[in-house]
Structure 1
């Protein structure tokens, strides 16, 4: 918006330099500030301005003050005085120093400060990377007309830096700032080399210790150049990058590149690469990455046990594998954490043995070369005996603290939405982070369904969504649209280095936020000791709550998306004797408080969602006259059974009409008795309850149409003075 500026606008009509100047000026009214020609110069110009202190003969550098006045201001601040630059400049005296000679910058009239430059030009010289003084005017021009120059580099190095710039542009993640670029270029020029690969990565890092982004430029450049020299086929490389193998962002969530360099035996590495390539055709990427870690441990065992036979495939005989079984049994947890130093669990030991055993069987089946010894086998009965499954749910005392509205209000909106999704829907955190902005779908009967990617079987599935989760997701979608418009497909986009909304939020970001929040709310257990929970425990907690409420194992399995029946043993062994087929044959109609028909449409694409939501709703008898449709993860706020008649989650149908009519008769009798003895408050309460019961009976018995509409506000029962929020929570 400033016509004299050659930089590209980046923030509401201002380039980065002008936006910083506007902020430094105290964020005045933006349009007026832009219209003032006095604010048009910004950035590191060739010409310097005088020090802000009136009458000072020196040029201004950092904070537009000369070095003498800047040192004086810093002294005041170190003694506790909070003085702004402009306040100081308006009252500061003129400070003098011995005259020397004029600044070495062309046409500069100010006196030298140091390095043959005045204060202002010395500040600019340090900001552009301390180039040779003769090149300073050129460097300042480049900074004001943003570009990335390769002047002074040898032809090959110039091509290497241009390739780096193209890669960074294509990735659209982190920015390359002109100052970092200039410093990196000047560093290479000072080395006088023909290629960046003439020096190792640690050499460039050592030369750039005082900078934060320059070492990363060299690291990215060396990695990119190394990739160019590698095999054309990704499968032939020693590091497989999932994105180059064609895996989507959902599939490679929380999976690092598959690095085979940890397998030090070349003959073993080739066979393992061949095996994992086969395995990736039928299993998820995360499982293959876990197997690769197991094979790296096996390679380490070979290096420790048989250091003199690293190039001999015949080392894989039965005696060696027996030694490996014992070595695995003696292993302890090496990763820092609560289990550090403890014996590895039987499940982990079984996984290690199973990975090697399956790989050897595949090797033998396809007769890969070099051939294995005939006795190179690990038998199934040699695996450790498994322990019983453990339901790793969160204690309800901890859940009360986590679910407290006061504590949830301390979370940022994004992480709060993730907590609600994991708590109410039982999603894995990797599945929640890859939710799309259009993840909410509506069934024909009006239920909300949450569609997410299930990494276990590489498919999308739909599950019922609670009202709390629907509201939170819709608010989060609004925040995403406000920031990225309609271009971003992720409900939880990456916070930084993501200008186009191309990447979802990484796990490390939300995990750090979540841990910081747990410390902030001071989560404590029953012994008043600090407690910690993980994201995955919300999934176990939902399953446990459903089991405790009487939800069948079949329904739990469907809701949580388990691929095996053994997993639902975490929660319950309750049999489900009411089949979905029987329910659909009845095609029964149920009515909620609004008078809306609650029924299943068997022909709909999302009928499975409706059935799962129905099974959750039927898990608990609210009163003798119906069911509670409230989501299992949200406890009932009512303290009296009759309160269900005033709750929008209450559902009933024709089979309960005798109970409702009996309740109505008894309530009218109590109303009459109270009125007869002058107890007006009791009579009023019973009158309201009778009206609510009559409303339910009327909606159940209304035969005019199947798609009943909500009752008008004039005919809805009074909620006894409840606020709208209290009624919704009912």
Structure 2
């Protein structure tokens, strides 16, 4: 059938050694024990079906082990292997070689039963997968940098307790770093705490002074002090170190003042560009578009969104769609309502993923080293694609600068929009699955600051068409509060009432003749409609001889003409270079109820 004779085929294979090195693992020449270890590592990788091990990347390592006379991979710990591989001249794929040796050592430990807490706890570096924890951003916990020994051992016990009670590896690692920083303080300052009783309040005060210089940022310092305080509090509560001084505590007064939380919501000018269909359609991969739309329209955290399960859609008896997700920060399941369009996009992504990974469990799986489809995409990978998408779309800020967007800003934008549209705080709290009212109140505070800023910038005129300015100085905040209360108590369809609180109104709903009345350009349509109705009413009153009615409404008509004229001239920019100024610049702004 055109195939070469078998003798010729063998000769060709012997001559083409590159084919052997590329397509097969040649373990000839290795000691029997080392060959079996490598074979077992290759078999375990194949069984996990997590990533592909290519011979062309691994054979240089195998030949190097042969030349060095290595008998077993367990001759050296992983740290030594990493250093040795880095020093081998001409060895390519160093990261692949280190990863393979690391996996082989883990497989061998597992084969011998040296996994679980009993095997991992005595070590100074914990590999979290050896104790059965799911894959997270944190793979190891390091205790080897903590001195003295009693603090290191207490930190181990503390971390095991935290992981056992449900704390995430990421949070545990962050708090462990706080204990490590205290060890750095002892090392750099020469302080000695050889026994628990030596860790007293004077040592804590010295540490507070040291860390205030090492960590000038108050947010970072508060996190570190909080982690170390949790460690000390746990030691005291559980009596793990009976000799520990009662003064070994961090009190609330020891923390630096918390800085005011800054506005992190995206400006509407920028958010509107990110939501345009013409821009969303430019995502190179549909999964990143769907993930972005989920962040924009549900406000869930990016960590929760990227780990959504493949079956994340629920429907009620009326067919309304809900997104089901795991709130990893609060360690609970949650649901949030979504619109039909977003539900359709998610359903389309579900069908696409099921074709690639029929048994996969996540909605946004990694495309590499993820043959089963059970590993979600990485946070950094999504941030990279988001940045590239924004650059390719040419999205810019209001000042023309290139936009820089962090994925978590979508959550802040979603919450701020809810508050701005009048959604009650307790509803916003449930939609965002907050555990307390504090964060929701933060969004409400920022929203009120935005409303006040917009009110200050708005052109405000009274019934005579004269522009009215806000008062400055010590009364500014109080006047704003008074006007806000008045707007709630005296809601008007065409402007705002600046009447003092608890004062009876003598104008009986005739606001357009009231000196306490203010209005802005947003009410122009209402004023024009009322002007047409008023003019018709005046004409009808004249025809029927109702002079008093006509006289009262003529005053309203004059005020409406003044208001409309002033607001339209401001809106059109009558003071521009191309048109003569028609506004009443010669008249001094008048003070109305504490406002100028």
Tell me the residue number matched to 2:87. Answer: 206
Provide the alpha-carbon RMSD of the alignment: 3.3
Q: How far, CA to CA, are the matches of 1:425 and 1:362 in structure 2?
A: 37
1:417 aligns with 2:303: no
1:361 aligns with 2:233: yes
Q: How far, CA to CA, are the matches of 1:107 and 1:361 in structure 2?
A: 74
Distance change (3 Å), C-alpha of 1:188 and 1:254: closer
> Does the CA-based 8 Å contact 1:453-1:461 persist in structure 2?
yes
The match for 2:152 among 269, 277, 283 is 269
1:541 aligns with 2:422: no
> Does the CA-based 8 Å contact 1:128-1:182 persist in structure 2?
no
Q: How far, CA to CA, are the matches of 1:170 and 1:208 in structure 2?
A: 32
Tell me the residue number matched to 1:291. Answer: 175
Tell me the residue number matched to 2:490. Answer: none
1:395 aligns with 2:278: no
Tell me the residue number matched to 1:432. Answer: 305
Tell me the residue number matched to 1:482. Answer: 355
> Does the CA-based 8 Å contact 2:179-2:231 persist in structure 1?
no
> Does the CA-based 8 Å contact 1:173-1:498 persist in structure 2?
yes
> Does the CA-based 8 Å contact 2:360-2:372 persist in structure 1?
yes
Q: What is the 5 A alignment of 1:162-561?
A: 162-198=39-75, 200-201=80-81, 202-207=83-88, 209-212=90-93, 213-222=96-105, 232-248=118-134, 253-282=136-165, 284-285=167-168, 286-306=170-190, 309=192, 311-332=194-215, 343-344=216-217, 346-369=218-241, 371-411=243-283, 412-485=285-358, 487-561=359-433
Helix, strand or coil for the counterpart of 1:330?
A: helix
Helix, strand or coil for the counterpart of 1:150?
A: coil
Higher relative contact order (CA 8 A, sep 6+): 2
> Does the CA-based 8 Å contact 1:188-1:196 persist in structure 2?
no
Tell me the residue number matched to 1:98. Answer: none
Q: What is the 5 A alignment of 1:24-63?
A: none
Helix, strand or coil for the counterpart of 2:429?
A: helix
Q: How far, CA to CA, are the matches of 1:433 and 1:152 in structure 2?
A: 46
Helix, strand or coil for the counterpart of 1:478?
A: helix
> Does the CA-based 8 Å contact 2:61-2:91 persist in structure 1?
no
Tell me the residue number matched to 2:34. Answer: 157
Helix, strand or coil for the counterpart of 1:449?
A: strand
Q: How far, CA to CA, are the matches of 1:443 and 1:238 in structure 2?
A: 51
Give the unaligned 5+ runs of structure 2.
448-492, 494-524, 526-596
What is the CA distance between 1:477 and its match in structure 2?
0.8
Q: How far, CA to CA, are the matches of 1:298 and 1:176 in structure 2?
A: 42
Q: How far, CA to CA, are the matches of 2:160 and 2:39 in structure 1?
A: 34
What is the CA distance between 1:316 and its match in structure 2?
2.1
Q: How far, CA to CA, are the matches of 2:247 and 2:107 in structure 1?
A: 44
CA offset digits 1:32-79 (Å, max 9, x no partner): xxxxx66x89xxx9958xxxxxxxxxxxxxxxxxxxxxxxxxxxxxxx
Q: How far, CA to CA, are the matches of 1:107 and 1:480 in structure 2?
A: 46
Specify which structure has the higher proportion of helix. 2
TM-score (norm 1): 0.55
What is the CA distance between 1:226 and its match in structure 2?
7.0
Q: How far, CA to CA, are the matches of 2:147 and 2:104 in structure 1?
A: 26
Q: How far, CA to CA, are the matches of 1:160 and 1:543 in structure 2?
A: 55
Helix, strand or coil for the counterpart of 2:66?
A: helix
Paired residues in the alignment total 439
